[in-house]
Amino acid sequence: MENLIKAVKAFIGDVDFQEPVPVGNGHINCTYLVKTSNNSYCLQKINTSIFKDLDGLMNNIEAVTHHIRKKSIALGRNPYRSTLKFLTANTGKSYVEIEGSAYRMYHYIDDVFTIEKMENPNHFYLSGVAFGEFANFLSDFDASVLSETIKNFHNTVSRYNDFETAITNNISGRADEVTAEIEFVRQRKGFVSMFVDRLADGSLPLRVTHNDTKLNNVLFDNKTQAPVSVIDLDTVMPGSYLYDFGDAIRSGATHAAEDEQNLDIVDFDLDLYKAFAKGYIEQCGASLTDVEIELLPYASIMLTLECGIRFLTDHLNGDTYFKIHREGHNLDRCRTQFKLVYEMEKNLDKLKEIINSLVK
């Protein structure tokens, strides 16, 4: 707590504030709400074992939020709500380092909610609108100014290789307990290069994308239910529309939580799929290339498989990447993802039909 308080003071000086209170359910950073008599802020301890180049990371976020803010103002929106607004610390930078940890502070957006588990298809449609609009806003952003904050983030081949290394090293000693999950991944070895190959040969275009389009990275307005802001901008980098589309479907086209232990209730819901796809394609469909359209039905399978592989790899490595809250948490998360992959694969023809009906 002492360091959190030091961090807040580095940003807002001597103004009185209430003790920071943890908020949200992110797997990576630690986020706190800090209230003064006039303002609410998020204080975030940045996960520096994942994000090592803090200047590169914060430069990316400053540039991207500046770009989005300009577009939002032009549309008559509130610039403090439509994207994140970071404070500058007494060091002149947008982060401070205290005893080996790094912190940043930005305006808390009031009267909003996030969704952890999808209940209402209209919310998922609106998430599609939010992420599709995000893609559009950044379509004229100069990608050359962006650092790659996590190398090979959605390179599914490199994720597969990390998984094989984790089995070989077996640091946790858990490899023998997850033979079925290992087999599930190995059966799909031929599939994991589908997007990587098309990016490498240039037939799939690189775009500036969010790369972490999970449900709880959109803030919705309490009163109007409309999406207010896309948050969690640490991974905004050159990527593919397929990543953002696929990862959003992974987290939202089911009624189950990501860590649900009862796999019988982990469903893949085609109506939810269609709702998101409609919102997303309405916003950025006009710029999709033929190859993107052809690969879009595979996107949720790829990104869900990739995420499951990452959870399994972390389980094998002894839970060093994703925050866990119970023994076996990453394995539970991996199993929900593989159940979803299985269901998506069974429905591939329907996914193709849905995409085709929306792009016409």
Q: What mask of x and - would describe binding to ligand ADP in positions 213 to 232, judged by CB under 6 A?
A: ---xx-x-----------xx
Q: Is 202 exposed, middle or buried (0-12, 13-18, 19+ CB in 10 A)?
A: exposed
Alpha helix locations (H) across the chain?
2-12, 54-74, 79-82, 121-137, 156-169, 179-186, 194-200, 241-252, 270-284, 290-316, 329-346, 348-359
Q: What mask of x and - would describe binding to Mg ion in positions 7 to 26, judged by CB under 5 A?
A: -------------------x
Residue 237 binds which entry of ligand GN1, Mg ion, ligand ADP, none, CB below 5-8 Å type-dependent: none
Residue 178 binds which entry of ligand GN1, Mg ion, ligand ADP, none, CB below 5-8 Å type-dependent: none
Q: What is the DSSP string of 96-152?
A: EEETTEEEEEEEPPPSEE--SS---HHHHHHHHHHHHHHHHHTTTS-GGG---SSTT
Residues composing the chain: 360
Residue 138 binds which entry of Mg ion, ligand ADP, ligand GN1, none, CB below 5-8 Å type-dependent: none
d(CA 12, CA 87): 8
- Under the criterion CB under 6 A, does residue 314 sit at the interface with ligand GN1? no
Closer by beta carbon to ligand GN1, 50 or else 293: 50
Closer by beta carbon to ligand GN1, 26 or else 297: 26
Q: What mask of x and - would describe binding to ligand GN1 in positions 240 to 259, judged by CB under 6 A?
A: -------x----------x-
Binding to ligand GN1 in span 185-224, by CB under 6 A: 212, 214, 217
Closer by beta carbon to ligand ADP, 212 or else 343: 212
Sequence-separated (6 or more) residues with CB below 8 Å from residue 337: 250, 258, 304, 305, 307, 308, 311
The helix or strand, by DSSP H or E, that contains position 208, with its residue range, turns out to be strand 207-209
User: Would you tell me which residues interact with ligand ADP (CB under 6 A)?
Assistant: 23-24, 26-29, 31, 42, 84, 106, 108-109, 112, 114, 216-217, 219, 231-232
- Interacting residue ranges for ligand GN1, rule: CB under 6 A: 26-28, 212, 214, 217, 232, 234-235, 247, 258, 307
Interacting residues toward Mg ion by CB under 5 A: 26, 217, 232
